[in-house]
Every structure is written in C-alpha cells, then in structure tokens.
Amino acid sequence: MNIKPLSNHIFLEPIEEEKATESGIIIPDTADKEKPVKGKIIAVGEGKLNDKGERTPMSVKVGDTVLFKKYGPDEIEINGKKYLVGDEDDILAILE
C-alpha cells in the first residue's frame, strides 16, 4: 500500500521504548505517560500553503527518527499494523 499524506501531515511508525533499565529495573507504564515518544517517519505531505498560496516545505523527511508529543498524533491500523498520523507541529525534534 502506498500512503500519501496531505498538507503538513506525517505518518509515523512508533518505536517502542525499553521498559527496563540496564540494571534490570522494570519501569511501569505510568512513569512515562506524559513523555514524548520516538517514531520513524514513513510518509510526509507536501507542506502547508501560506497566506500567499506558496507551499511551505516540510522540515522532516521519510526515514527520519523523531521525538513527538505522545498525545499529538492519532493512532490508526492498516493491515494489522499500528501507525501514527499527525501534523508536523506534533514533532518536537529530529534524532540524529
């Protein structure tokens, strides 16, 4: 399936975080509920149109690993696999 987001929307594949420390301490789910999470961008839109009708380019690209707001993107399921769909504004940082 080929996904083509519109405007400034992005499709993310969530990256699951480790649930235990290196020393083996288990971190409960409630400890990181408000923290941003990581994801890999699998599709990006062309960008928003500004007031002059010009397209504003996206600052992220396919393949980037990013940090995003936990409750920003919406979760969807395609062919049994979970993805996140959100706006470029939901992204906090690109991880290099």
**Would you list the domain boundaries of the chain?**
9-17+35-95
Superfamily of domain 9-17+35-95: GroES chaperonin (2.30.33.40)
- More confident of the two residues 36 and 76: 76
pLDDT score at 65:
96
Identity of the residue numbered 40? K
7-50: per-residue pLDDT in tens? Answer: 999 999 998 766 666 676 766 655 555 556 899 999 999 999 99
